[in-house]
Amino acid sequence: MLTKRIIPCLDIKDGHTVKGINFLELRSVGDPVEMAEAYSGQGADELVFLDISATIEGRKAFSELVERIALHINIPFTVGGGISTVEDAAVLLRAGADKVSVNSAAVRNPSLISDIASRFGAQCVVVAVDARNVDGVWRVTTHGGSRLSDKELFSWAKQAEALGAGEILFTSMDHDGTCGGYACAEYRKLSDILGIPVIASGGAGNAGHIVDVLSPEGGNADAALAASIFHYGDVRIPDLKRQLAACGIPVRQVPGSTTAG
């Protein structure tokens, strides 16, 4: 049976992780490759690396990092942050990333999705959508949630699918950072209207929130992405997977994955 995926997300600046993991004994807290290996060993199903560098040097360091990650880890990973052209995507895919995620640039220029999909395949295009509820309408935002666009979440997700998106990664800006749970009703609707996988992001505060967003009666998302709760050790992936399995949600158990850090 196809399993639901658990995806830790790492923010990278100038080739280093912004937040260290504080529950694993790492030689170098800021080394993304070591963090990636640690998560992979714990049973993470995929990883996401978001480049938040603001400089050209930082971006170059990121693509070099992608090469190192690809050499060292043996599970799929997605990279994103600031991809605005097909060439940006090509550099990262050639460096060894399995998928790229596009966000603001696709809102501005939707054909970016079809351009990347037609050249590298739909399976490697993740369309990330940040949206917030404004007077009952889920408005798509850009630039990390700071700007409202004229697009609406559900119609934009459908359009992205039609353009060749392989997956939709929706972050509710109303839930992100609250640790109060995911926007389950919205994931459920996305899952109903789309024929491609939906990744939930934003709001995880405990393992129960992840159970809710993945369960068929809840958000019915195909995958759950989270950052802080994994980095700070509030939720450990082997424990989370045991809890999901106990709730009847199919997950991949990794034999020998360690619980303690």
Partner 1 sequence: MVGIIDYEAGNIRSVENALKRLGADYILSRDASVLSECDRLLLPGVGEAGWAMMKLKERNLVDFIRNAGQPLLGICLGMQLLCEWSEEGNVECLGVFGCRVRHFRTALSRTSGLKIPHMGWNSISSLGTALFDRIQNGEYMYFVHSYFADICEDTAAVTEYGLPFSAALCRGNFMGCQFHPEKSGDAGERVIANFLEM
Pick between residue 94 and residue 108 the one whose CB is nearest to partner 1: 94
Chain centroid to CA 157: 16
Pick between residue 5 and residue 175 the one whose CB is nearest to partner 1: 5
120 touching partner 1, by CB under 8 A: yes
Give catalytic residues, as residue numbers. Answer: 11, 130
162 touching partner 1, by CB under 8 A: no
74 touching partner 1, by CB under 8 A: yes
Using CB under 8 A, which of 195, 217, 248, 260 touches partner 1? 195
Stretch that binds partner 1, among 23-31, 107-115, 141-149, 246-254 (CB under 8 A): 246-254
231 touching partner 1, by CB under 8 A: no
Using CB under 8 A, which of 197, 202, 203, 218 touches partner 1? 197
164 touching partner 1, by CB under 8 A: no
Q: Contact residues for partner 1 (CB under 8 A)?
A: 1-3, 5, 40, 45, 70-72, 74-76, 94, 96, 98, 120-123, 166-167, 194-197, 222-223, 252-255
